[in-house]
Structure 1
């Protein structure tokens, strides 16, 4: 393990801080910095979510950037304050997914009165704030009781949260956190983390090699000044390229294989540094799965459906074209992958409960709730806060959903059922996340859609909203549980993190609703610039559950791919739970399905990042790992996300592209021909 002297010499980023129960953790600088970083992440996640459906919780990056900024303050930030900072940032930055701004709200805007019986629903700013308030706090109040079970009692690994704790311990020159997992059944050993941050579509894990080095590396360390420069120049490079692409759209729509394939089959390349950065954060195995899906979906199934007459419309048309046709195969893969990943979680939970009941008289003391709790009562969230918070958030949520959508949208009793489903599914999602670093929120939302197809048949609006309520609870509780795992390993106050979660979620309601309102005024959503692919997933399943009709021949392909990826998901789940070395190379069904949903341009750019990450850690930094590449990737992602705000302002004031030269293929965002 790296020694403290080695860390001082080579990392050069922080001082040693002691922690104690009396130490102030919930401080104004930590919260303000967390809100600032979270707002940037919120705009970034909304931007990328509407483009590709991909959202990252960016917990590790938030901790890193917050730490670097805090070095400019008169008093350096403690590790516990850093955890409050990154918890607040994550709660603020992930609202675009939690409140459905990248999927559910665009799906409601796609409704067709002739086909669906209701006109498109476009929420005003006030209505969007009301909807966000309805779902913003339910998952936060679910977190404390779930924490006691999955982190304290069962000690689930939560790899992304553990990786963030590893990084914070290095930054602040602390001894490495104890990541030994004491399990209730054999087959587990001490955890070695290789997952850096959790990024979602909405439930796909990301991978980056942030591990404890066995020996201090001879090279590759990052000095404080060097890390600042890496972050600054990567941010500037990505931002400059984004601004250049705004005025010269061809920069992000290169017809890599010629204009014919770009125009007719949507094969182009977007050399966006932000997507390269996302690929670095996601890691090579995930980007490889995504590009395998891209090759199968866009290289095989798309032309097959077109030439066979099953999808006779233009390839990019979501109703009659190949893009809409392969969407159904993607949906089958995502559903079966999520379902299979939940089976071992449910099975273990049932077996555990059976064993507990059989031995409850002999071993009752082993199951006392707080036996393993390491925090004092003054640092925990009181149970009465949780009960009052859950009750208030549910009652307020039911009223607000009724206020926004009315009785024609969804009945109040049905919304209440949606919250109950959300609570139950959140437990499953959190357990799956803790075991595998995979939060299957899209699959959980679709389970809720299946239920509401029975209890409110024929009501597409109710079906989508109910799925959104369930997804919001599961996604938010899962993301916050990763943060609580980080806090547990670094001995941060759960109550201080809880405060940060509440404040971050509250501010993000206004920020996300405002950002979405600005984007919807400046752009058509879904449209060429922001296709919002997950919106079609939500709407397509709702229509299928109502009508029972599938496009021509999709049923056969859905069944075949579901069977194949059901088997693959089972093998992968077994390998992950046994921590087998080859587990990460087994294709991820959700990542594979994303390759179907997004056009090749996005997947190819992420593959560049994935390959960069792999080569860097295998060839450049052979004897250890540093954080330079993470810093650069973070700058890439944030650069385009922040400059997208500038692009939004330019579009709002009517400032268009300088030239549409070479945009003859019609794929250039911002050009009239697109």
Structure 2
């Protein structure tokens, strides 16, 4: 949410007596991203729900549901490791390797437009795979604009966009916020609003084919872009339109379609897992290869002192604006030691041994470098695949311990997730010359605040809803638990192994083609299907993917027709942000209503268990 945080920070600063400078906006944005990263890094949408699904007969442990205090302790254990990793990784991937980080660069372009600054100088930081970004393509960080043929026209267009945002930004944000909030509140009292049986009640009830016209999903689709949402919906068609009926009719998944254990949804989950692993691993291969070559060049015996000094000279910041090395050393040591103790206190010896947690943190550091480099090259942080790598390792270190497998994998993934998200902001700060130390403070403040916010929100939602459940399915929780069980028992659903191999090969090849096309800066790279997005189409029911496709189509049409005919491309980001924020804020009101026993007003149209908010 770097672009959205920068936009909203800019709009809010216009209400102040003295508007914030570009560098101050970057610190605001960095703090916001650090705050928003915590629910993902701490596993509130995957790890913790997975622990709540444990079964003593299958897993050797009863379900683990953390209290508020335990959730705070778990969050503290992983909250700061990625933050203290960010300064040395910044030196490696932003200063030395000068990776692109397309979203971070696009955010820098956006801030320069809003503040009437010259575009950031990216030409001096050009490397393989790095491209300058035209400000008319701010929602498309991969757009190629290497030749400034119409420089004056571009400057005038930038100023027009800034004027539009200042003049109409608040109105657009408010209207989109209110529209999304009103629809969210209506869906709480009338659940059929978010469960429209667009393809008939039979398909909605038996095969989960319904439509959720959530403006938040539409806004997410706008932000994700048309190619990604298209890949997601292709996965939806293959998973829910072909493989789900095939597994059900063949008797491989005899249970109800939505059952994650015996139904088609649980069966196709394994195909999704194979696709994610294949895509992530193949995408990481060139990153690992290039990284090994760089290490050999930098630290090999032939490396001269003059060359090493030249690399150090690439740093453009003075020492008083950088994070001191001793802070990093003390911070990493302290966060690892305190984190290990807190994990032991929260889960005990029966959950995971302290030495295994230490290995998890070390794995997190290594995986962070791979994940950040992949993010810098492709704008995609492959944390899902990295998490599976950590699970495979811990299946060997602590065999048969499902709880330890999930927890240690979560510790390792947290570092990669957090370091990657924060690195985009550090790239923005590098281009606009914001203080890395000020951004570091913002990261610490955001992560600290989010410990309380995330733990409190998760505890309240757990009291009001079943997680995972109809309203919050948390599909990644089943991915974590299913792989941990597979590594313990070695049992796959009937006939799923052959399809896993088939789809892994197909998307391994597709990922290889995509990597090669990206290295050659091929203009059609973004249209090659994304394996991760394709797999997410399997994990989520069709209702989640269809609304995002609408957002992707809107983004595509708007960008090709409206923005290119003189409209403001930034304006679409403002509207999409309002859609996302509206549902997010009003959902808190829904949570309060649910907590105090205020139920739905009418279950009209929800017969047969179509709606999550109504009884079957």
1:499 equivalent in structure 2: 441
2:328 counterpart of 1:386:
yes
- Equivalent of 1:482, from 408, 424, 428? 424
Residue of structure 2 equivalent to 1:643: 586
Q: Residues of 2 paired with 1:210 and 1:183: CA distance?
A: 13
Following superposition of structure 1 onto structure 2, how do residues 16-415 of structure 1 map, counting pairs within 5 Å?
Answer: 58-180=1-123, 182=125, 190=132, 215=153, 216-217=156-157, 222-357=164-299, 360-362=302-304, 364-366=306-308, 370-415=312-357
Structure 1 residues 361, 620: CA separation in 2 closer, same or farther (over 3 Å shift)? closer
> How far did 1:355 drift?
2.9
Name the residue aligned to 1:515: 457
| Alpha-carbon separation, structure 1, partners of 2:53 and 2:144 | 41
> How far is 1:665 from its partner?
3.9
- 1:525 and 1:532 in contact (8 A); partners too: yes
SS in 1 for 2:609: coil
- Give, in whole Å, the separation in 2 of the partners of 1:347 and 1:471: 21
Quick check: 2:222–2:555 contact (8 Å CA) kept in 1?
Answer: yes
Mapped partners of 1:558, 1:392: distance in 2: 42
Displacement of 1:224: 1.9
Q: Separation in 2 of the partners of 1:333 and 1:562?
A: 5
Task: Mark the CA change 1:194 to 1:544 in structure 2 (over 3 Å): closer, same or farther.
Answer: farther
Aligned partners of 2:421, 2:165: CA distance in 1, in Å? 30
Residue 455 in 1 paired to residue 400 in 2? no
Query: Would the aligned equivalents of 1:256 and 1:268 in 2 still touch at CA under 8 Å?
Result: yes
Structure 1: any 5+ residue segments left out of the alignment? 1-57, 198-205
Shift of 1:114: 1.1
| Alpha carbons 1:208, 1:283 under 8 Å: kept | no
Report Cα offsets for 1:506-530 as digits up to 9, x if no partner. Answer: 0100000000000000000100000
Q: Contact 1:208–1:613 (CA<8 Å) still a contact in 2?
A: no
Structure 2: distance between partners of 1:194 and 1:482: 20
Map Cα deviations across residues 403-449 of structure 1 (whole Å, 9 max, x no partner). 00000000000000000000011001111111111111111111111
Q: Does 1:580 align with 2:517?
A: no
Q: 1:210 to 1:187 in 2, by over 3 A?
A: closer
Measured in 2, the distance between the counterparts of 1:196 and 1:605 equals 22
SS in 1 for 2:564: coil
Cα shift readout 1:479-533 (whole Å, capped 9, x = no counterpart): 1100000000000000000000001000100000000000000000100000100
Secondary structure in structure 2 of the residue aligned to 1:556: helix
Equivalent-residue separation in structure 2 for 1:193 and 1:453 (angstroms)? 47
- Give the whole-Å Cα distance in 1 for the aligned partners of 2:512 and 2:165: 44
Distance 1:170 1:191 in 2: 12
Count the aligned residue pairs.
607
* Partner SS, residue 164 of structure 2: coil
Distance (Å, rounded) in 2 between the aligned partners of 1:170 and 1:669? 44
- Tell me: CA distance 1:635–1:71, structure 2 relative to 1, closer, same or farther (3 Å): same
Q: 1:590 aligns with which of 515, 532, 538?
A: 532
Q: Distance in 2 between matches of 1:481 and 1:637?
A: 23
RMSD between superposed Cα atoms in Å: 1.9
Partners of 1:357 and 1:91 in 2: CA distance: 33
Contact between 2:132 and 2:144, CA under 8 Å: does it hold in 1? no
Matches within 5 A, 1:600-619: 600-619=542-561
Separation (CA, whole Å) in 2 of partners of 1:136 and 1:229: 36
Q: TM-score, normalised by structure 2?
A: 0.95
Higher helix share: 2
Question: Is the contact between residue 163 and residue 210 of structure 1 (CA under 8 Å) also seen in structure 2?
Answer: no
Match of 2:384 among 438, 442, 446: 442
Taking a change above 3 Å as real, the CA distance of residues 599 and 189 of structure 1, as seen in their structure-2 partners, is closer
For structure 2, which runs of at least 5 residues remain unmatched after alignment?
Answer: none
CA shift for structure 1 position 228: 0.7
Deviation at 1:350, TM superposition (A): 1.2
- Partner deviation per Cα, 1:139-195 (whole Å, 9 max, x = no partner): 0000001101110111100001001001011111111001226456x6766455898
Inter-partner Cα distance in structure 2 for 1:196 and 1:604: 24
Displacement of 1:574 in angstroms is 1.6
Structure 2 distance, partners of 1:187, 1:125, is 45
Distance 1:603 1:196, change over 3 A: farther
Q: Aligned-pair distance for 1:357?
A: 4.6
Contact 1:160 1:195 survives alignment (8 Å): no
| Aligned mates of 1:479, 1:176 — CA distance in 2 | 23
